[in-house]
Chains A and B, each alone.
Chain A
Amino acid sequence: MILIHCPYCDEKRPEIEFANAGQAHVARPLDPSSQSDEEWEAYLFIRANPRGRHHERWRHVHGCGRFFNAVRDTVTDKFETTYKAGEPRR
């Protein structure tokens, strides 16, 4: 089981305390009614799915309950860093 650093609790905790919430920095369209089908497809369905460095969201569900972002290598599963929601992409 991987250990994940929660940037709010500032502690490394086991993975079972966390829920993965998918790719990070996918911004919801500000004006939904103006979006084309292509833009909706990209927002709803298209995912980076990289083999290597990956930005993703996690939620510390069995802890502070807050969402944060992480950078993890998808080949080694090693976390590079975690940072609070709202902070710029690393």
Chain B
Amino acid sequence: MTHHSAFSLFAKALGGHQDWPEQWPDAAPKPAYDAIIVGGGGHGLGAAYYLAKKYGITNVAVLEKGWIGGGNTGRNTTIIRSNYLYDESAHLYDHAVKLWDGLSQELNYNVMYSKRGVMMLAHNVHDVQSLQRHINANRLNGVDNEWLTPQQAKDYCPPLNISPDARHPVLGAALQRRGGTARHDSVAWGYARAAAALGVDIIQNCAVTAIRRGADGAVEGVETTRGPIATKRIGVSAAGNTSVVMQMAGLDFPLESYPLQALVSEPVKPTFPCVVMSNTVHAYMSQSDKGELVIGAGTDQYVSYSQRGALHIIEHTLAAICEIFPIYRRMRMLRTWGGIVDVTPDRSPILGKTPVKGLYVNCGWGTGGFKATPGAGDLLAYTMAKDEPHPINAPFNLDRFRNGRLIDEAAAAAVAH
């Protein structure tokens, strides 16, 4: 693996960027591995990287049915934050935010993590009380979050309409300054490159079709579209398709998969300095470094694997965006797309062991998995290496739907999550 640096970038620029080598080899499956990760998104690639880097398990394959980062990793709105209400969630998401901090250096790949701040708007009395409760809970957990008056919010994000006559008046905002954005493709590519350098095989166009189990019930391998592969440890990190993969092992999961849409505008000069979210009217927006406004819409109401959603969902979001940021009313939208998100009943992820020996799962991140990418990868790797969950992900077990110990961020976050 060639080392990236300002000097190497400059040298390649002199050559017209013509001689960049491939960043990692396109591997073919071997007959057996010590561990297999199903799903080559950020979470799965991250798990493979940390298995090799922190836990010394380098004979690992990542199986991706499509191409690397072509699922939800390449379809999200790249927002990073950790201002979750409950202790378990705050620890989980803040673990990820701490890893985001040094990620570019660690991977020697610029993931463009930008701490531009995530501001959540309050439009009514309930919002004010709810956000202030979040701020207090976050601070007790060591997560930064602060209250802004409408004028302070406007100073932080000038396009914001704080007129008292606005359709959605701004009564204040909660700001997490450590929150921000990162370049989603770079995260997948950076993890893939760093994992491959440590010996991990990254295998694309390789869909898992069955999970093989021995007489004692433990996993023995997988059948794939590129032949059978033997392994004793399988980590499933398949987002919207988790239910389908789990049924191969005879497990029914508390998940439903919905389309979630996002869209980008034509690129314009920098006008929008931070991330703004409004849970009440369901709109969130940031501006990419390319200049596009990146806008997140809501989920469709029905279960679907179609990777596209209905137009009225987008219209609803854009109507809200136009009211909150009137300067963008004439912006033209360039592209819309959908990804399939796996949603749990309590809107918290499932990350840990399953009833099948050797089968581990990282799923249920719903509409907010990108922010957790490094943390989820690290914790899935820990759980697979030690055959027991890390204290941070121990509460996010599958048993909570049986014993009732839910982590109900559904009620806490209301909608946008």
* Chain A residues near B (Cβ < 8 Å): 1-2, 15-16, 19-20, 22-23, 37-38, 40-42, 44-51, 54, 56, 72, 74-77
Contacts and interface: CB of A to CB of B under 8 A. Distances in A.
A46 B255 CA distance: 7
Nearest to A22: B256
A86 B263 CA distance: 41
B302 to A, nearest CB: 5
Nearest to A16: B312
Contact of A51 (B254, B305, B312, B401): B305
Contact of A74 (B252, B305, B402): B305
A46 B306 contact: no
Contact of B402 (A2, A37, A49, A76): A37
B345 A45 contact: yes
Interface in B207-257: 241, 243-244, 252-257
Given A1-B310, A47-B255, A77 B304 contact: yes
A1 B259 CA distance: 13
A76 B256 contact: no
Nearest to B345: A45
Interface string B397-412: 0000111000000000
Contacts of A23: 303
A23 B257 CA distance: 12
B311 A1 contact: yes
B133 to A, nearest CB: 27
Contacts of B311: 1
B301 interface: yes
Contacts of A44: 345, 401
B241 A46 contact: no
Contacts of B302: 20, 56, 72, 77
Contacts of A49: 243, 253, 255-257, 303
A46 B303 contact: no
Chain B CB count within 10 A is highest, among A2, A22, A44, A47, for: A47
A46 B304 contact: no
The 10 residue pairs across chains A and B that have the minimum distance between CB atoms: A45-B254, A49-B243, A20-B301, A45-B401, A41-B402, A20-B302, A46-B252, A45-B345, A51-B305, A51-B244
A37 B403 contact: yes
Contacts of A1: 310-312
Contact of A41 (B241, B257, B401): B401
B252 A48 contact: yes
Contacts of B403: 37
A26 B401 CA distance: 17
Interface string B112-151: 0000000000000000000000000000000000000000
A79 to B, nearest CB: 10
Given A41-B254, A44-B401, A50-B244, 16 more contacts: A1-B310, A1-B311, A2-B310, A19-B301, A20-B302, A23-B303, A37-B402, A37-B403, A40-B402, A41-B401, A47-B243, A48-B252, A49-B253, A49-B255, A49-B303, A51-B305
A75 B401 contact: no
Contacts of A54: 303
B321 to A, nearest CB: 20
A13 B1 CA distance: 57
Contacts of A19: 301
17 contacts: A1-B311, A2-B310, A15-B310, A22-B256, A23-B303, A37-B403, A41-B254, A46-B253, A47-B243, A49-B256, A51-B244, A51-B305, A74-B257, A74-B303, A74-B305, A75-B304, A77-B306
A35 B256 CA distance: 24
Contacts of B253: 46-47, 49
Nearest to A70: B302
B241 A51 contact: yes
Contacts of B310: 1-2, 15
A2 B341 CA distance: 20
A51 B239 CA distance: 13
Chain B CB count within 10 A is highest, among A16, A41, A44, A76, for: A41
Contacts of B254: 41, 45-47
Nearest to A76: B306
Interface string B305-327: 11000111000000000000000
Contacts of B305: 51, 74-75
